[in-house]
Structure 1
Amino acid sequence: MSSVPFDQNLPLVRRLEAVGFRAWPATSVQYDGSWQIRLTGGHPSKRLNCIVALDPSDCRDIGLRLEKAARKFEAHGRPILVRETPLTPPPLLDLMKGEGWERFEEVVTMTCDLGAIELPGDTLDHLPSHDVGRYVDADLLVHGSDPALKPALAEVVSGIKPPTGLFVIEEPESGPVAVALCVQDNDLAGIMSLAVRADRRQRGLGLEILTAALRWARMRGARTAWLQVVAGNEAALALYAKLGLVEAYRYAYWRKGADA
């Protein structure tokens, strides 16, 4: 698979990457030049445990810097991951390809003008909660995640500094069926962790909770919304396109192959 193209709006990419870091904060963030090394011992999320290069021209001593970073990942009990964005130096990609690293999980970052899109309905159907514990319980249930991750996920959510709306749709008998987290960072609003429980999909719940989160953000003065979705999730991509979201850029992960 070819690498992410470099003919994109790099200032926009830099800004969305920065708000993305604040919207999903890692426990430990260290810098090696412009490389950000993100590690979170208690949570396995790839975004919380990866190297992200923030300057395409920062390509000195790549091999040595990767080895140094790998030791930090090993100390945290994590495999080394590199997150490729349009800001990644081409020589870093060339080195990983040459050493047999594997590229996987391409993700599409999408944006929309909140003032231009039409949101279904005209009221705030679901008000956000500020109860982190309740939200985390619902998130783990809806995603089908290991309940043992509750303390780590609660730490991540509690660590988000910008104003955050925690959205949960519940049914009286079956409990939480959809969740979303909306982080308003000045004029940008990020939709994180949106999910519908597996047995309640194809019923419009994704659109319902996304609309509630976007309307909340717009009422608070956000002008642009952004979210990220795995490139192979055609149903979600169709939903987001229907609402008016368009692709801004893509990112992907690299891991050491069996022979690397």
Structure 2
Amino acid sequence: MEITGGGRLEVRITSADVGKRVSVRYVTDPAEPGEKFTDAVGVLTSWESGVLLITQKSGESVRIPESALAAGKVVPAAPARRRGPSATFAELARATARAWQPVESEPLGEWVLRASFYEVPPEGRPGGAAAGRRVGFTRRANSVLALGDPGVPVADALTHARAWYAARGLPAYVQAATGAEGTQELLCAALDRHGWRREVSAEVRIGALAPIGDLDADVSAVRLSRTLDEAWLRRYRRSPGDEEASPAVRSVLASGPSVWFASVPGTGGVPAAIGRCVVDGRWAGFMAVEVDPDRRRLGLATSVMTALARQALDEGASAAWLQVEADNDAARALYDGMGFAPHHHYHHYRWAEA
């Protein structure tokens, strides 16, 4: 915090600092006897009607009455990681998008509207979605990739996106990121103002690829293939489960510059473990690492990732990325041990229909 020569805290930010990273100290409850302070660090995303909105690295927003401010200053971006690969947000966001491509897309300026859906037949499926409607295969393949300028005011772009998804019988989602230099805290605040609500968040993590390939893992049983087969899909927990495995599902999973599928044989025609890797220049993206619940903690996930990493190294990749939801403690522990560290958070905002 800024302290003047007399030892007093000082507020050194104004509404002109919207869009900058700030650190503030504020009174938590002015009505309570004895002032209690807390701190917030993040991007100042608005300062209107006497209220500041600070969006933190995790995507959580803090609303602070101007009257509660005790101190505040603009602070530099968080220091870059000292180990592992370096990456800008824009580079990494585009690499992750290329690894999970939609079936249908439409540009809106520099934004991309993306859709990948399948029709639920009139008779429906046991345990499946309601019959007779369209279902999007994952939010990633059915959301707006909002990188850059949409070419129109954001409010108009969001109205267009809502209509585009409604015409396809799908809910409207926008993907946005927080927590790194160049991420989209201002867009997240705009989404919130315009009635969109954050539905799910995850971390994008990065790490050096060679240490994963060098792990002392048994890869003898891991089979690598360019082909997405029925057995692999039977283990994949996000597969709709149709006998035909929707063409949209197959299209998304097979998309990417250089795609590999890994599997470890199991019983009953279902692999004990699977994984997917997309090699794209220096990047190797790991997705869909799944293990039979009865065979967890036996090192199968490590074996799958090691085999995929070695293949990616052979193709010239040197850095790795993956996405993990914040509440997946087991996966986070596994990736911590492999040297992955958080780069930024990404969020899916859904239009909150009245």
**Mapped partners of 2:98, 2:150: distance in 1:** 23
- Superposition deviation, residue 220 in structure 1: 2.4
After TM superposition, the structure 1 = structure 2 runs for residues 1-260 of structure 1, keeping only pairs within 5 Å, are 2-4=55-57, 7=77, 12-42=88-118, 43-55=136-148, 60-86=152-178, 89-116=184-211, 118-121=214-217, 126-134=222-230, 137-143=231-237, 145-148=239-242, 149-158=245-254, 160-172=255-267, 175-257=270-352, 259=354
Contact 1:229 1:237 in 2 (8 A): yes
Q: Provide Cα deviations, 1:93-118, integer angstroms capped at 9, x if missing partner.
A: 22322244321221111111123554
Contact 1:40 1:48 in 2 (8 A): yes
**Mapped partners of 1:94, 1:126: distance in 2:** 45
SS in 1 for 2:222: coil
- Superposition deviation, residue 72 in structure 1: 0.7
* TM-score for both structures, normalised by structure 1: 0.85
Relative contact order, higher structure (CA 8 A, sep 6+):
1
Contact 2:219 2:303 in 1 (8 A): no
Cα distance, 1:91–1:218 mapped onto 2, change above 3 Å: closer
Q: Percent same amino acid among aligned pairs? A: 26
* TM-score for both structures, normalised by structure 2: 0.64
Higher helix share: 1
- Superposition deviation, residue 216 in structure 1: 1.7
Opposite residue 179 of structure 1, the aligned amino acid is I
RMSD: 2.8
Contact 2:177 2:185 in 1 (8 A): no
SS in 2 for 1:63: helix
In structure 2, stretches of 5+ residues that fail to align are 1-53, 60-76, 81-85, 119-135
Aligned residues: 255
Contact 2:116 2:142 in 1 (8 A): yes
SS in 1 for 2:117: coil
**Mapped partners of 2:92, 2:57: distance in 1:** 16
Contact 2:222 2:304 in 1 (8 A): yes
Q: Provide Cα deviations, 1:199-221, integer angstroms capped at 9, x if missing partner.
A: 33233221221121112212322
- Superposition deviation, residue 174 in structure 1: 6.0
Contact 2:211 2:338 in 1 (8 A): no
Contact 2:204 2:345 in 1 (8 A): yes
**Mapped partners of 2:159, 2:191: distance in 1:** 12
Contact 1:110 1:247 in 2 (8 A): yes
Cα distance, 1:120–1:33 mapped onto 2, change above 3 Å: same
**Mapped partners of 2:194, 2:252: distance in 1:** 33
Contact 2:260 2:308 in 1 (8 A): yes
Which structure has the larger Rg? 2
**Mapped partners of 2:102, 2:324: distance in 1:** 20
SS in 2 for 1:203: coil
Opposite residue 32 of structure 1, the aligned amino acid is L
